[in-house]
Structure 1
Amino acid sequence: MALIRVWRARQRISASERDNLIAVCYLMNPYILFSSLAMSTSPLENMLVLLALMFACYKKRSSTMLCVAVLVQISLSYLVILLPIAMILIVGPYSRLASPYQPNIPRLALFSLLGEFLGYHTLLTALSGFASGNWSWMSQTWGASLQLPDLTPNPGLWWYFFTEMFDHFRSFFLMVFTVHLFIYILPVCLKFQYDPLYATFCLLGIVGLFKAYPTLADSGIFISMVAVFPEIYPYLRHPIVTTMLHLHASLLMPLFHSLWLRQGTGNANFFYASTLVFACANGAAVIDCLWSGLRVALGPAREKYVIIQE
């Protein structure tokens, strides 16, 4: 329901025939469905993301910042979407990909929102420390994303790299991998400052691609949200290739995981190869959406003209 309300707010309507399609795209997405059946906590993270977006679309700043603060308590990686969600509260969620402009974003309003988030985050941190009786929970929650203590195979890119990493290089590359996730915030938010909801959508795809401990649901919410942006469909360059990559990866990952860890007839390279295919599928989807989001403003291609660079 939250995703449907985001769609309605973006289109400035109270209801539409597309509502059911958006609900089906989310609820029947295999990545999200299987994560729910596996009793993963990722659907809870997705719920908080969608609630934060819904509240932001309807200008409920306190509810929005509280949802983001709870989300960051669970996973530090979602700090990536704090800035674009704050921009939604100021600029609005409306579809402006076809008519880009430079919005007036008052710094005082932006800093006020970030300050409110910091207040909620500090309060939740204090409550967590009080509930646990000490501060050791930080190393077991936030520290897990920063130090990568558990190298159990997962759909992400980090685990195999750090399995093969020499110990004296580990700290440096942990810093590089962690910082790398956050370097996309300003470029994406500046490029899509006129449509911060689309910026949030793109950054969610990047989180699903480069998160330390990703799950299928992290990519699932990004794929499901494509239904909210039908204006980009005519400008997607390789949707069939991206779809086939996802299908290929979804078949390879359980197969190679079983060959390696259950039957013992494979090795780590088998499963990591399938996660690389999954990463290529996610990366192709993110790049295609970034391109098409910029391409919308130029309209349909005209005869004797070629788009060289946005």
Structure 2
Amino acid sequence: MSRKWLSNFALAGTIRLLIMNSEYQKIIGNRVEVSTALNSWKRVTEGVYLHKFGIDPYEGDLFHETPIGLYVFTLMQEYLPQWALFLLFVVVDLTTALCLAHAAKHYAFELTMKKKEEKDEKELSKDVPNTSALYVSTAYLFNPYIILNCIGLTTTVFTNLLYSIVLVSMTRRSVLWSCATIALLTLQGLYPMSLMVPATIYVATTAKNRKISIVTMLIVFTSILAILFAVSYCIMGSWSFLWSTIGFILTVPDLRPNIGLYWYFFTEMFEHFRWLFIASFQINVSLLYIVPLALRLRRDPMLLAFSYLAIAAIFKSYPCIGDVGFYISLLPLWKHLFQHMQQGFIVGCFLLFCTVFAPTVWHQWIYSRSANANFYFGVTLAFAIAQIFLLTDILFASVKYEFAVQHGIDKKINGNEAKLLLE
């Protein structure tokens, strides 16, 4: 097992470093599917340059990282040469895979214990946690979306690391680490605040007094978030960063194309409908699904966290393939649900075709001028639909699995494997 781990990490790191030091690095870094207004390293470099010369980087529409991020990125660019910067991105990406492996191992162990309580002897295996950890880390290390995200030097690499720490902290029931990492992510991207729900469920399930544990989580999270805002204010000396970070995410002023749905709608609509659409879109991604999913998936908070991550990656203001690749890498956690899924082939084909067609249609639109914005938006819309199919399919598979476990359904009919259909 250790040889597999070492070979996987070595190969993944080598692939990243080789492409980073090739002529393809700049091409990938400039792709709209990889870099957005929120995670572009080019924008980070320009923001650091402005800050170094005493100019507020939050004036205008250029820099959208947090002041804490600005401080860290300034240190990185001052003290790290280019080769060390490349190496840092690769190490952070490999660390994310390692954290996901630990989270997968803990989650698989919990599933195994549940199955033991349910006396599901066929599903039991002592090696399940290690296998699940290996599958998840491999899915992350060799995910094309993640590889391109790392090669493009996007700040989503660091965001994914924080997400992985959140998942590890959740499975370990760590109040401080869960709240701290979610607070950092909330300061940067707002939508990760929803992860407080599964984190709180994890902590409350093992606490002696659930009400006290819930209140504790809320107090710790609010306190850390307030401290982070105070630190950000001390770094910049003003609150100007709020409009360029959280305000920028909520109001969507930058309408350059990406793999999301906002840019086309807000480009085509009449201006007096803008705030109605902004409210509708933001409620959809941040509020609409939190309570229903929490009620339905309260017994499986990891699947709940996966659902929130997927919804944010699909409907957020400025998504990139790094967001999509992260939650797709978590799919091996639910390999026991694959037998109940029905849309796997369709979703796989959709994702593959959209991944190939997106740069093709972009070239036809921008360079050849033989297409227009409708073509590219058609690809991004299909990409979003494929992700919605994937999420709904795995949620329905979870329902089918629970039904099969409770009722002890035989999966064979006349000696042949059968599928459970819910109508």
The residue aligned with 1:46 is: 160
Report if the CA contact (8 A) 1:45-1:71 is conserved.
yes
SS in 2 for 1:241: helix
The residue aligned with 1:208 is: 313
CA distance in 2, matches of 1:39, 1:188: 34
Check if 1:143 corresponds to 2:247.
yes
The residue aligned with 1:233 is: 338
Report if the CA contact (8 A) 2:298-2:304 is conserved.
yes
Percentage identity across paired residues of the two chains: 26
1:25 to 104, 123, 139: 139
Query: 1:301: how far off?
Result: 6.0
CA distance in 2, matches of 1:49, 1:82: 12
The residue aligned with 2:401 is: 296
Report if the CA contact (8 A) 1:91-1:105 is conserved.
no
Residue-by-residue CA offset, 1:11-67 (whole Å, 9 max, x unaligned) = 227962343322110011111111111111112111111101101211221011100
> Which residue identity is paired with 2:280?
V
CA distance in 1, matches of 2:205, 2:311: 22
Check if 1:73 corresponds to 2:187.
yes
- Please list every run of 5 or more consecutive structure 2 residues that lacks an aligned counterpart in the other structure: 1-97, 110-125
Report if the CA contact (8 A) 1:48-1:67 is conserved.
yes
Report if the CA contact (8 A) 2:101-2:136 is conserved.
yes
Compute the RMSD of aligned alpha carbons. Answer: 2.1
Residue-by-residue CA offset, 1:215-264 (whole Å, 9 max, x unaligned) = 10111111110011122111111101100000011011111111112232
Report if the CA contact (8 A) 1:66-1:120 is conserved.
yes
1:3 to 89, 94, 100: 100
CA distance in 2, matches of 1:301, 1:212: 45
Check if 1:132 corresponds to 2:229.
no
> Which residue identity is paired with 2:103?
V
Report if the CA contact (8 A) 1:91-1:196 is conserved.
no
The residue aligned with 1:84 is: 198
SS in 2 for 1:16: helix
2:263 to 153, 159, 165: 159
The residue aligned with 2:362 is: 257
The residue aligned with 2:177 is: 63
SS in 2 for 1:39: coil
Report if the CA contact (8 A) 1:252-1:274 is conserved.
yes
1:222 to 327, 332, 346: 327
Query: 1:130: how far off?
Result: 1.2
Report if the CA contact (8 A) 2:340-2:419 is conserved.
no
Check if 1:245 corresponds to 2:342.
no
1:280 to 385, 403, 409: 385
CA distance in 1, matches of 2:243, 2:232: 13
- Please list every run of 5 or more consecutive structure 1 residues that lacks an aligned counterpart in the other structure: 93-102
Report if the CA contact (8 A) 2:103-2:171 is conserved.
yes
Report if the CA contact (8 A) 2:136-2:331 is conserved.
no
> Which residue identity is paired with 1:74?
Q
Report if the CA contact (8 A) 1:189-1:199 is conserved.
yes
1:175 to 258, 279, 283: 279
Check if 1:110 corresponds to 2:214.
yes
Query: 1:209: how far off?
Result: 0.8
The residue aligned with 2:34 is: none
Query: 1:151: how far off?
Result: 0.3
> Which residue identity is paired with 1:242?
V
TM-score (norm 1): 0.91
Report if the CA contact (8 A) 2:105-2:132 is conserved.
no
CA distance in 1, matches of 2:422, 2:100: 35
Mean Cα deviation higher: 137-146 or 255-264: 255-264
CA distance in 2, matches of 1:74, 1:306: 42
CA distance in 1, matches of 2:277, 2:295: 27
CA distance in 2, matches of 1:183, 1:131: 35
SS in 2 for 1:240: helix
Aligned length: 299
CA distance in 2, matches of 1:105, 1:259: 60
SS in 2 for 1:82: helix
Query: 1:306: how far off?
Result: 6.8
CA distance in 1, matches of 2:343, 2:140: 22
Mean Cα deviation higher: 8-17 or 261-270: 8-17
- CA spacing shift, 1:166–1:129, aligned 2, 3 Å: same
Which of the two has higher C-alpha Rg?
Answer: 2
CA distance in 1, matches of 2:209, 2:291: 14
Query: 1:110: how far off?
Result: 1.3
Larger RCO, structure (CA 8 Å, separation 6 or more): 1
CA distance in 2, matches of 1:276, 1:91: 39
> Which residue identity is paired with 2:319?
P
Query: 1:106: how far off?
Result: 2.1
